[in-house]
Amino acid sequence: PIERAVARDDLRVIAFHDEVRVAIMPPDQVARFGDPERLFMNVNTREDRDHAERLAQAG
């Protein structure tokens, strides 16, 4: 689905949602898998990337 969205030049994050099953999870349910702040970290800058890489290396 993502490749099809890109092929039609639809680069929106939600471009493929109609083609997949999507669910909204409340934060407490997400927290069962890890820290929501870390799981959904937004990486937009080099500094963000560096921070994400440090977290990944730390495990």
pLDDT score, position 22: 83
- Residue-level pLDDT at 59: 79
Record the pTM: 0.56
CB 33, CB 39: distance < 8 Å = yes
- Which residue is associated with the tokens 């993502």? 2
CA distance 8 to 22: 21
pLDDT of residue 45: 97
Give me the pLDDT at residue 23, please: 87
The predicted-structure confidence for 1-47, as pLDDT tens digits, reads as follows 999 999 999 999 999 999 999 889 999 999 999 999 899 999 999 99
Q: Where are the domains of the chain?
A: 25-59
Tokens of 4: 């099809």
